[in-house]
Amino acid sequence: MSIQAPRRRRSTAPGDETRERILDAAEHLFAERGYSNVSTRDIAEAARSNAAAAHYHFGSKEAVLEAVFERRLAGMNAERERLLAACLAEADGRPSVEAILEAFIGPTLRLGATEEGRRFNLLAGRSSTDPNPEVRRIVFQVYDSVGRRFVDAAAAACPDLSREELFWRIACVYGAMMYIRADNGRLQHLFGPGFSLSDGEGALKFAMPFLTAGLAAPPVEGTE
- CA-CA distances (angstroms) from residue 224 to 57, 128, 214, 221? 60, 35, 18, 7
Max distance between CA atoms of the chain, in angstroms, equals 68
Write the interaction track for DNA spanning residues 51-90; mark x where CB under 7 A is met and - where it is not: xxx-xxx-xxxx----------------------------
Q: Does 207 bind a copy of itself (CB under 8 A)?
A: yes
Q: What is the DSSP letter of 218?
A: P
Distance separating alpha carbons of residues 15 and 75, to the nearest angstrom? 23
Binders in 88-147 for a copy of itself, by CB under 8 A:
125-126, 128-132, 136, 139-140, 143-144, 147
Stretch that binds DNA, among 40-48, 69-77, 88-96, 102-110 (CB under 7 A): 40-48
Which stretch in 23-31, 35-43, 135-143, 205-213 sits in contact with DNA by CB under 7 A? 35-43
From a copy of itself, DNA, none, which one binds at residue 93 (CB under 5 to 8 Å depending on kind)? none
18, 108, 127, 212: residue in contact with DNA (rule CB under 7 A): 18
Helix and strand numbers, DSSP H then E, in the chain: 11, 0
Size of the site for DNA (CB under 7 A): 33
Q: Which position among 25, 43, 99, 170 is part of the footprint of a copy of itself (CB under 8 A)?
A: 170
Residue 194 φ/ψ, nearest 5 degrees = 105, -10
Residue 53 near residue 18, CB atoms below 8 Å: yes
Helical H segments across 91-207, by residue range: 97-110, 115-127, 133-157, 163-182, 186-191, 200-202
Residue among 143, 179, 167 at smallest CA distance from 215: 167
Q: Name the site residues for DNA (rule: CB under 7 A).
A: 1-2, 6-19, 38-42, 49-53, 55-57, 59-62
Q: Applying CB under 8 A, which residues contact a copy of itself? A: 32-34, 36-37, 125-126, 128-132, 136, 139-140, 143-144, 147-148, 151, 163-165, 167-180, 182, 184-187, 189-191, 195, 197, 202-203, 205-207, 209-211, 213-215, 217, 220
